[in-house]
Structure 1
Amino acid sequence: MKKPVYKELVAASSRPMVLSILSGGETYGYEILKQVQLLSGGELEWSDGMLYPVLHRLERDGLIKGRWQLTDAGRRRKYYRLTGRGKRQLSTDRESWRAVYGALQMSWGGSHV
């Protein structure tokens, strides 16, 4: 049986997760969803309805940039990439999450819960 992942934690981690994925290069929404699932060992399964508002917010905030491209099948697909501002935010987020994780590990007595 799958362990529950709480919405608040998923919401809080969505920006650094998407920025981290995009630090590996330009990609599109469906591939981001697959990467989240892969990176979490299947524990996180984001939906389109969860991801696209995050992408729109990150784009509005200037952390990512999107561009439309036609696929071989003739459909339009939006590809996203990190901006310079997004790279700086990812660095800040990485430091913050490491501090939170370290504090939690200490409070749990160093156990791997």
Structure 2
Amino acid sequence: MIIYNTTFSVPKKLQEAFIDFIRDEYIPLSIQNNLLVEPRLTRVFSMDENGDTSYALEFKVFTIEALEQWNSTTGKELRLLISSKFGQEIQGFATLLHTVEL
């Protein structure tokens, strides 16, 4: 199992709008084709000097190939959507994590 995590830096003035957007638009579009599953949004326990907060949005995906397929279609659409909605005010970076069985 692979965890696809995107961490977003969100200005204080946009936090409510960002959470609404993630819940109402981003997650439903992300999971509609069943390539990404089990969405989870968490707030990072840190704040920068401007009062911005970071949020980590995580999904599970079964293979790298499935993630690549998602990124070339739905992911591309979502990057354009978030950019059109928030411009350059919200920035994100993605991390791939692999579950280690203990």
| Higher strand proportion | 2
TM-score range, shorter chain: 0.3 to 0.5
Decide which structure has the larger Cα Rg and report it: 1
Instruction: Give the number of the structure with larger relative contact order, counting CA–CA contacts within 8 Å between residues 6 or more apart.
Output: 2
Quick check: which one's helix share is greater?
A: 1
TM-score w.r.t. the length of structure 2 is: 0.32
